[in-house]
C-alpha cells in the first residue's frame, strides 16, 4: 500500500511539475480546413507570434474535411487535455450544432482558449450588372421569384449561411449555388450566371479592387476605410443582418487552467505584433472577446443564435 501511495505521489508531483513548466514541448494548432485558405494563413501567423512568447515551437497541422468537423472532432475526442493541442475554431463549429449531426458537442467537449478576430462579409455583385444597391436586389426578387442566385464556397460554409440569413432577414427568395471555394464563383458573377456572393471581406477586397465586381454592403458595425463608399447592411436598412467570420482557439475540455491562461497570454502577444496588426487591418478585422471565459460566452451565444433561428423557422439550410 505504501508503495502505491509513493507511486501516486510521484505521479502527482510529475504532473504538477509539468503544469508549472508549461509548455515543455511544442504546441500544435489543428486547422480543420484545406491548405492555402484564410484559416491556414491566420493560424500560421498566430503560431509565429505565440512561439516567440511561449519560447516553444507552435506547429500548424491541417486536418480538413466535413466542413471542419474532422479536425474539431479530433481535438474534442482524440487529443489529450494537456494544452498541447488546440483547435482553430470558426463559425462552422457553432453552426454545425444546428445543421449537422455531430459525434461530439463543442459546448461540453471543448473549452475556449482565446478569441482571435472577426472579419465581416460583403455582398458582391457584377460591377456592370443590374444591381446597384440592396433595394435593387430586393425589388428584383419581388418581381421574379427565380431571379436571384447566390454562390458560396460550399454547403454549410460562411458564405452559404450568410446568404440564407439574408434571405430570412429580407424575406426574399434566392437560390443557393454551391462551388468548390469562393474563387470559382467570381467568373460566374462577372458573366451574370450567378447574381451575388456574400464573401469574406479579406477574400473579396482584391476582386473588388480589380473593378469587375462591386460591393453593395458590408456586415461590419461601421464602414471600412478600405471601402468607404460601401454602406453597412444596417445603413442599407437591414440592421438584423449580423454575420461575421470569427476565429478563436479552443482546447479539449479538462485542459488545466494554467495551460489555458498561458495560451491566452501567448495569443494576446501574437495579436499585438506589427505583422499581425497590419494583416488584420488589411482584412478589415474587428476585435472579439479575447479572454477564455468571455470568448467561451461569445461562442455559446453564436451556437444559441443559429439554433434559435432554426427552431423559429427563420432559416433553413438549402443545398
Digit-coded pLDDT (tens) for 276-310 = 999 888 788 888 999 999 999 999 999 999 898 88
Residues 35 and 112 in one domain: yes
Torsion of CA 204, 210, 212, 215, to 10 degrees: 40
Q: How far apart are CA 270 and CA 58, in angstroms?
A: 12
Q: Is the pLDDT reported for residue 10 higher than 50?
A: no
State residue 142's pLDDT score. Answer: 95
d(CA 192, CA 125): 9
Q: Tens digits of per-residue pLDDT, 21-80?
A: 899 999 999 999 888 878 898 999 999 999 999 999 999 999 998 878 999 999 999 999
Residue 99 and residue 144 in one domain: no
Percent of the chain with pLDDT over 90: 67
- Same domain (yes/no): 112, 151: no
Q: Residue 1: what pLDDT?
A: 46
64 is written with which cell numbers?
A: 480538413
Place of cell 488546440: 86
Does residue 3 surpass a pLDDT of 70? no
pLDDT at 106 over 90: yes
Where a domain ends, among 184, 218, 252? Answer: 218
Asked if 150 and 184 sit in the same domain, the reply is yes
Q: Residue 23: is the preceding peptide bond cis (ω within 30°)?
A: yes
Q: Which of the listed residues 168, 203, 218 is the one where a domain comes to its end?
A: 218
Q: What confidence score (pLDDT) does residue 37 get?
A: 78
Average pLDDT value for residue range 136-161? 91
Domain assignment present for residue 64? The answer is yes
Q: How far apart are CA 203 and CA 221, in angstroms?
A: 19
| DSSP bridge pairs for 110 | 252
Phi and psi (nearest 5°) for 166?
-65, -35
The answer to whether the Cα torsion of 302, 306, 312, 314 is positive or negative is positive
Same domain, 134 and 108: no
C-alpha cell at 113: 482558449
pLDDT tens-digit readout, 153-181 = 887 778 888 999 999 999 999 999 998 77
125 shares its domain with 213: yes
Q: What is the 8-class DSSP label of residue 232?
A: B
How far apart (Å, rounded) are the C-alpha atoms in residues 32 and 73?
A: 9
Work out the number of other CB atoms within 10 angstroms of the CB of residue 281: 11
Residues 33 and 43 in one domain: yes
Is there a domain that residue 232 lies in?
no
95-115 average pLDDT score: 94
Q: Give the residue-averaged pLDDT of 232-247.
A: 93
Asked if residue 104 belongs to a domain, the reply is yes
Pairing assessment for the beta strands 58-62 and 175-178 based on DSSP bridges: unpaired
Q: How confident is the model at residue 318 (pLDDT cuts 50, 70, 90)?
A: low
What is the domain count for the chain?
Answer: 2
Q: What is the mean pLDDT of residues 88-104?
A: 92
pLDDT winner (highest mean) among 13-22, 137-146, 197-206: 137-146
Is 319 part of any domain?
Answer: no
pLDDT tens-place string over residues 191-205: 999 999 999 888 898
298: CB partners within 8 A, 6+ apart = 115, 246, 248, 288, 289
In a domain, 6, yes or no: no
Q: What is the CATH number of the domain that holds 141?
A: 3.40.190.10
Task: Give burial (CB, 10 Å; 0-12/13-18/19+) of 258.
Answer: middle
User: Do 128 and 212 fall within a single domain?
Assistant: yes
* Whole-number average pLDDT of the chain: 89
Looking at the fold, whether 248 and 301 belong to one and the same domain comes out as: yes
Considering the domain architecture, whether residues 186 and 134 belong to the same structural domain is answered as: yes
Question: Is residue 233 domain-resident?
Answer: no
Shared-domain flag, residues 113 and 135: no
**Is residue 7 over pLDDT 50?**
no
Same-domain pairing of 138 and 213 = yes
Three-class SS state of 62: strand
Lowest mean pLDDT among 100-104, 221-225, 280-284: 280-284
Distance CA 193, CA 140 (A): 15
Is 5 within a domain?
no
Read off the CATH number of the domain in which 65 is found. Answer: 3.40.190.150
Give the helix/strand (H/E) hosting 113: strand 110-126
Parent domain of 208 = 120-218
Residue 66 domain-assigned (yes or no): yes
Amino acid at each position: 500500500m505504501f508503495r502505491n501511495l509513493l507511486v501516486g505521489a510521484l505521479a502527482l508531483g510529475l504532473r504538477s511539475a509539468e503544469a508549472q513548466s508549461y509548455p515543455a514541448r511544442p504546441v500544435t494548432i489543428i486547422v480543420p480546413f484545406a491548405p492555402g485558405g484564410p484559416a491556414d494563413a491566420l493560424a500560421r501567423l498566430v503560431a509565429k507570434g505565440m512561439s516567440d512568447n511561449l519560447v516553444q515551437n507552435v506547429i500548424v497541422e491541417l486536418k480538413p474535411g466535413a466542413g471542419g468537423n474532422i479536425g474539431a472532432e479530433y481535438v474534442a475526442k482524440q487529443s489529450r487535455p494537456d494544452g498541447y493541442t488546440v483547435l482553430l475554431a470558426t463559425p462552422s463549429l457553432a453552426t454545425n450544432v444546428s445543421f449537422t449531426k455531430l459525434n461530439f458537442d463543442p459546448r461540453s467537449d471543448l473549452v475556449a482558449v482565446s478569441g482571435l478576430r472577426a472579419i465581416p462579409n460583403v455582398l458582391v455583385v457584377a460591377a456592370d450588372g443590374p444591381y446597384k444597391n440592396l433595394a435593387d436586389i430586393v425589388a428584383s426578387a419581388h418581381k421574379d421569384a427565380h431571379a436571384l442566385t447566390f454562390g458560396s464556397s460550399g454547403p454549410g460554409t460562411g458564405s452559404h449561411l450568410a446568404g440564407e440569413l439574408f434571405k430570412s432577414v429580407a424575406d426574399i427568395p434566392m437560390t443557393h449555388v454551391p462551388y468548390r471555394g469562393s474563387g470559382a464563383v467570381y467568373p460566374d458573377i462577372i458573366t451574370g450566371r450567378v447574381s451575388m456572393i456574400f464573401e469574406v471581406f479579406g477574400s473579396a477586397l482584391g476582386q473588388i479592387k480589380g473593378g469587375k465586381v462591386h460591393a453593395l454592403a458590408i456586415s461590419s458595425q461601421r464602414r471600412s476605410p478600405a471601402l468607404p463608399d460601401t454602406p453597412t447592411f444596417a445603413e442599407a436598412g437591414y440592421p438584423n443582418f449580423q454575420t461575421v467570420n470569427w476565429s478563436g482557439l479552443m482546447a479539449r475540455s479538462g485542459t488545466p487552467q494554467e495551460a489555458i491562461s498561458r495560451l491566452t497570454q501567448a495569443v494576446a502577444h501574437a495579436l499585438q505584433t506589427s505583422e499581425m496588426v497590419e494583416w488584420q487591418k488589411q482584412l478589415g478585422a474587428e476585435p472579439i472577446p479575447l479572454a477564455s471565459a468571455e470568448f467561451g460566452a461569445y461562442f455559446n451565444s453564436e451556437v444559441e443564435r443559429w439554433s434559435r433561428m432554426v427552431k423559429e423557422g427563420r432559416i433553413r439550410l438549402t443545398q
